[in-house]
Amino acid sequence: MQQAWLRERPGTPVGSIGVITRIWWIGKLLDEERRATHQRTGMDAATLDLLSTLRREGEPYRLPPGELARRSLVSAGAISQRVARAEREGHVRRLRSTEDGRGVLVELTAQGHAAIEHTVDDLLTHEEGLLRALTPEERTTPAGLLRRLLADLTEIRQRARG
């Protein structure tokens, strides 16, 4: 692809194609794999994100909605919808904050805990298999480079938003 563009448009900067196009293709393939896993486990991406965030917090597996939104990189409205849906499904419950009585905390229920344990095991075992072409040592290089690229792109986006 790079060579074809250089042939057709000499002098065009094509170095990004080898990285960004591959990341994009990999992203599409991984998105398809994630969707299949969500379908298999019966848990949608938004619920997985919510329950995973609470589970990673450690006992007692609760956070305020604002913190959930911040960690999930979504709006307060999106978190409110996610929490309402997960609450209807029995995965979380809302509690009054003991600190001021006005605040709300979202807590993982026993049912939600069991659901996320099963789903995370299934998802991460499957995704580990998707990386079989790379040794554990080889994974550290792209992981570090992608972390740096993501941080820079995030900063660029934040500056553009003002």
First to last CA, the chain: 35
Does the CA dihedral 145-151-154-159 come out positive or negative?
negative
Q: Take residue 117 and report the two structure tokens written for it.
A: 């344990």
Q: Take residue 57 and report the two structure tokens written for it.
A: 């917090």
From first to last of the 162 residues of the chain, give the pLDDT tens digit: 899 999 999 999 999 998 999 999 999 999 999 999 999 999 999 999 999 999 999 999 999 999 999 999 899 999 999 999 999 999 999 998 777 767 899 999 999 999 999 999 999 999 999 999 999 999 999 999 999 999 999 899 889 988
Q: Are residues 50 and 86 in contact, defined by beta-carbon separation less than 8 angstroms?
A: yes
Between the CA of residue 113 and those of 36, 89, 140, what are the distances in Å? 22, 12, 30
The answer to pTM > 0.85 is: no
Distance CA 155, CA 148 (A): 11
Least Cα distance to 35 among 133, 127, 134, 121 occurs for: 127
pLDDT at residue 97, as a whole number: 79
